[in-house]
Chain A
Amino acid sequence: MNRDAALATAAPRALLSHATRETLANYAYLLPAAVCLGGTVFFPILKAIHMSLYQNVLIRPQDYRFIGLGNYVRMVQDPVFWLTLKNSFTWVFWSVSLQFLCGFLVALLLNGQFKGRAVFRTISLLPWIIPGVVVGLIWEYIYQPNYGPLNDLLRRAGWMREPVAWLSDVNLVMPAIIFTNIWRGIPFFTIMILAGLQAIPEEIYEAATVDGAGVIQRFWSVTLPMLRPIIVVATATRIIWTFNYADLIFVMTGGGPANATQITSTYTLMQAYSDLDWGYAASLSVILLVIMLTFTALYLKLTKGVESVAG
């Protein structure tokens, strides 16, 4: 009787339920990645925000103090900052929009069947494969007014009498580097859109044809809607990259001449490492972060449901 009573006693209840233990285990697996992310992303952001609230010029350690929004007030009054912001938007808008259009055209061409398609596909990727600094150096040489091949070709063709200083003329320099950036960025859109084109089922086009849709109607009603998620993701990614990464500008013009190609990210670098004004540089980088977060929030709002609509 006692033995049966003992056997009938319920086992002690675990401290945590099975579901909770499983959840905790999942979080434990994520912890190392979260620590790395925190250390390399969130901590620097918080540190930059903290630094932006201080007067912190390295060669004036005696003036180090909390100034609140002082750096931001200075930024509002800084004409060079507004110029760099305008340059940044010009740089991003023209680069990305023309990269997208040209990339789309190339993707449409490469989606067709023709002899040597594999070779053309490989060649079209080359600008993307070459490192940005090398691209900048190559194009700096191409644009060289005195011995660069571009002016040489234009002169031989009779289209130019005096050498054009592509990177020294304040009116030409931004279009020149935007052209370089377009050349470099076309393969990115080509790859993304080509992958999307090849994923569109042929049956949909057949059905559209049977319904009497012409080439343009099929493009507008079938191709574009099916590609919308890819276009949105690729464009947003490219906008963020172009806004932040200034390797071409750094190599080709250094932000000159006369700040004509100075964008906010290069201006931030200059404030940090030439002027040694880390407080102001931190405030510039915080503003860049705010701009990108605003853009990302808008993008998420505008594209909500895009994937489900296309699917």
Chain B
Amino acid sequence: MKDDASYASRRQFLRTLAASGAIAVSDLAWWEEPFLSPRKAHAATTVRFEFYINEPARYAVVQSLVERFNKSQSDVEVKVEFVPQTQAHQKLITAVSAKNPPDCCQMWDQWLGEFVVLDALEDLTERIKAWKFYRSTVPAAWQAVTVKDKIVSFPLSITTEGIYIRTDRVKEYGLKMPTPDWTWDDFLALAKGLTKPEKNQYGFGMRGAGKWAVSYATELMYGNGAQVLKDGKVAINSPEAVSAFEWYIDLFRKWKVTPPSAPTDGFRQIVEGFARGITSMYMHNSGSVEEQKKSTGEQKFATLPIPIGPAKKRAAFYFCETLTIFKASKNKEGAWKFLTWMMEDEQHYQFCKVAGNLPTRPSLSERPPFTEAPYSGFVKSYPFAIVSPYLAYAGWGGKLDSEAPPLLQQAIVGQISPKECLDRWADILTKNMV
């Protein structure tokens, strides 16, 4: 017979679990029903769904969405498999090569080209064009998920790059808060004003590691009239691109407005550096807005579009998270049912609200929080945002991961010149126009 002490400790344990669960789903107040385990239908078919992003809030929202779908009908049971983001691409390649991919998965737009060439993705063109939300989705989103004239994925969310700024620091140092039409000179002046090395404070958290570092540098280069592709040829090493790139890496080399760790700073470092006050600006998409609201405080930061360059131009690349179905899926109908359910208004809105990326339908992106101040920098970028030129060829995705980051780092630390870096990058892109 168990005594009261053991019952008490078990109650305490269950309460602690419930509290942890409550914290995990605290963003999901829209879920009216109690959070119960799914009803298991006897004859339900199974759909394997893989999801790749490693943040607790995203785990919670996807888990709850899957549970809700499973409860809402009895034909399909979705089993979600969470995979660490850093291993996602590798695991998916292995699964496709072994002819055992999941039925459907979340996929970044940059990977779609590769998997189309691998003949791994289902052509959804006809079905999506007949889908009820096809025309109400922003055209740029369809561009991002169209490869070789085939729509291969649902655009789950869309965003662009912008600049996060610590408004408290701007105020503290008596600087002027820039306007959305700020220029490179305004950016540099602000970065210099916010840099106090003796206090371990730097104006701009440059991202030096990974493919996004290359993408950010390229976006800024467009402000000087540079382009990745011009008349069908690679033009990333044009004189305009070289001079823009020199300006960009001079933020580290000459002006020293970036932390000394910039060459190897990745996503986590630039986001945390901003939250800790080490840096006062950084470039990223809207995906870190919700995190900064919690870490930095909603009143202490703002977002602005990328500054205008000397050529009176600027560009921001769209980034899309997508939902796709594999050709080798054993339950394509079930996968379609689940993904179209995920793209319904409430589900789509709730996911984007937690993820911080904008919904792909204006009717949803015109709802809070997307209309609030922290998102304004990204919304204001839409007029000049373009689909990433690095999506033009499937062969470029892998090179953006493998060869571009070391080249960028070599240029940042001064091992090679900016021109040599871009010449070699242009050569790689030209050889891989697959």
Query: CB within 8 A of A168: which of B117, B264, B415?
Result: B264
Known: A61-B117, A258-B409, A276-B398. Is A253-B264 also a contact (CB below 8 A)? Answer: yes
B413 within 8 A of A: yes
Binds B, one of A8-16, A31-39, A158-166, A290-298: A158-166
Minimum CB distance partner of B266 in chain A = A254
Query: CB within 8 A of B93: which of A61, A144, A145, A273?
Result: A273
Interface pair A59/B398, CB less than 8 Å apart: yes
B156 within 8 A of A: no
Complex formed: what's the CA distance from A163 to B409 in Å? 19
Instruction: List A residues 108-162 near B (Cβ within 8 Å).
Output: 144-147, 162
B18 within 8 A of A: no
Interface pair B261/A168, CB less than 8 Å apart: yes
B418 within 8 A of A: no
A196 within 8 A of B: no
Q: How many of B's residues come within 8 Å of A, CB to CB?
A: 39
Minimum CB distance partner of B87 in chain A = A273
Interface pair A163/B260, CB less than 8 Å apart: yes
Q: Taking the nearest CB of chain B, how far is it from the CB of A15, in angstroms? A: 45
Residues of A within 8 A of B208 (CB): 168, 257
Q: Taking the nearest CB of chain A, how far is it from the CB of B266, in angstroms? A: 8
Query: CB within 8 A of B260: which of A60, A61, A164, A270?
Result: A164
Residues of B within 8 A of A170 (CB): 413, 415
Query: CB within 8 A of A59: which of B200, B394, B409, B410?
Result: B394
Known: A59-B398, A145-B260, A146-B200. Is A258-B434 also a contact (CB below 8 A)? Answer: no
Known: A59-B395, A167-B261, A253-B264. Is A275-B402 also a contact (CB below 8 A)? Answer: yes
Interface pair B402/A259, CB less than 8 Å apart: no
Interface pair A145/B413, CB less than 8 Å apart: no
Minimum CB distance partner of B94 in chain A = A273
B89 within 8 A of A: yes
Minimum CB distance partner of A152 in chain B = B200
Interface pair B118/A168, CB less than 8 Å apart: no
A87 within 8 A of B: no
Complex formed: what's the CA distance from A271 to B405 in Å? 14
B401 within 8 A of A: yes
Interface pair B402/A144, CB less than 8 Å apart: no
Minimum CB distance partner of B259 in chain A = A146
Interface size class of A (residues with CB under 8 A): 20 to 34
Chain A, residues 232-274, CB within 8 Å of chain B (1/0): the string is: 0000000000000000000001111111001000000011011
B48 within 8 A of A: no
Chain B, residues 406-431, CB within 8 Å of chain A (1/0): the string is: 10011011010000000000000000
Q: Taking the nearest CB of chain B, how far is it from the CB of A250, in angstroms? A: 9
Complex formed: what's the CA distance from A111 to B412 in Å? 50
Query: CB within 8 A of B398: which of A167, A258, A274?
Result: A274
Query: CB within 8 A of B406: which of A144, A258, A276?
Result: A258
Q: Taking the nearest CB of chain B, how far is it from the CB of A155, in angstroms? A: 9
Residues of A within 8 A of B273 (CB): 146
Residues of B within 8 A of A59 (CB): 114, 117-118, 394-395, 398, 434
Interface residues, chain B, with chain A CB atoms under 8 Å away? 89-90, 93, 97, 114, 117-119, 197, 200, 208-209, 259-265, 269, 272-273, 276, 278, 394-395, 398-399, 401-403, 405-406, 409-410, 412-413, 415, 434
A208 within 8 A of B: no
Interface pair B261/A259, CB less than 8 Å apart: no
* Most A CB within 10 A of own CB, among B119, B209, B264: B264
Interface pair B261/A165, CB less than 8 Å apart: yes
Instruction: List A residues 58-88 near B (Cβ within 8 Å).
Output: 58-61
Residues of B within 8 A of A255 (CB): 406
Q: Taking the nearest CB of chain A, how far is it from the CB of B418, in angstroms? A: 14
Query: CB within 8 A of B415: which of A60, A145, A146, A258?
Result: A258
Complex formed: what's the CA distance from A170 to B413 in Å? 8
Interface pair B261/A144, CB less than 8 Å apart: yes
Complex formed: what's the CA distance from A145 to B395 in Å? 36
Minimum CB distance partner of B272 in chain A = A147
Known: A274-B401, A275-B399. Is A256-B89 also a contact (CB below 8 A)? Answer: no
Residues of A within 8 A of B399 (CB): 275
Residues of A within 8 A of B259 (CB): 145-146, 163, 165
Instruction: List A residues 166-203 near B (Cβ within 8 Å).
Output: 167-170
Complex formed: what's the CA distance from A60 to B208 in Å? 30
Residues of B within 8 A of A163 (CB): 200, 259-261
Q: Taking the nearest CB of chain B, how far is it from the CB of A127, in angstroms? A: 24
Query: CB within 8 A of B405: which of A144, A256, A273?
Result: A256
Interface pair B413/A162, CB less than 8 Å apart: no
Interface pair A146/B402, CB less than 8 Å apart: no
Q: Taking the nearest CB of chain B, how far is it from the CB of A133, in angstroms? A: 11
